[in-house]
Copies of this chain bind each other. A is one copy, B any other.
Amino acid sequence: MAAVDLTTHPGHLARRLQQAHYLLWNTMVSEEITSPQFAVLNALVAEPGLDQRTVGERVGLDRSTIAEVISRLGRRGLLDKVRDPQDGRRFLLRLTDDGLRTHKKLTVRTARMNQVFLAPLATDEQALFFELIRRVADAAEGLRNPSEPLVAPS
């Protein structure tokens, strides 16, 4: 009666998109390393020695989640945690040689997977796909922080 068409609900579409990606990742990239784990490896390739919180910021994960992901990567021997001698609250993170190798290998496979994933779209549509999703995600992300005012509050 009053039922709604979920195909016009962005949340539902986003969930389905992620499921589809999860499926393809598992078959084409790795069954061991997940996509968020790869994102963490990638962040540490770009900026070795980051602390945990900053890595979470880079890849878009909160403190609790990033702690678990990092703990799994550490258990697999892909990264090292060392206390920051300058600031005893932080752990400095750095990839091991194994971590670097893994990142390199997965980078190749991920590129292949992305091609397959985006194959249904023409090249210009792919660019649009990225842009539209990014705009929506950025805007919603912006609603989270109460928009730091341009003028300092009294």
Interface contact B11-A18, CB-CB below 8 Å: yes
Q: Which residue of B lies closest to A139 (CB)?
A: B120
The interface centre, meaning the residue of A6, A39, A60, A114 with most chain B CB atoms within 10 A of its CB, is: A6
Q: A77 near B: Cβ within 8 Å?
A: no
Looking at chain A's contact residues, the main secondary structure is: helix
Known contacts being A23-B140, A136-B129, is A118 close to B10, with CB within 8 Å? yes
Q: A24 near B: Cβ within 8 Å?
A: yes
Interface contact A14-B21, CB-CB below 8 Å: yes
Q: Which of B60, B104, B114, B141 contacts A15 (CB 8 A)?
A: B60
* CB-CB contacts below 8 Å: A101-154 with B: 103-104, 107, 110, 114, 116-121, 125, 128-130, 132-141, 143-144
Q: A35 near B: Cβ within 8 Å?
A: yes
Known contacts being A130-B7, A133-B13, is A18 close to B18, with CB within 8 Å? yes
The interface centre, meaning the residue of A16, A23, A24, A138 with most chain B CB atoms within 10 A of its CB, is: A16
* Docked CA distance A138–B43 (Å): 30
Q: Which residues of A contact B (CB under 8 A)?
A: 1-4, 6-25, 35-36, 39, 42-43, 45-46, 59-60, 103-104, 107, 110, 114, 116-121, 125, 128-130, 132-141, 143-144
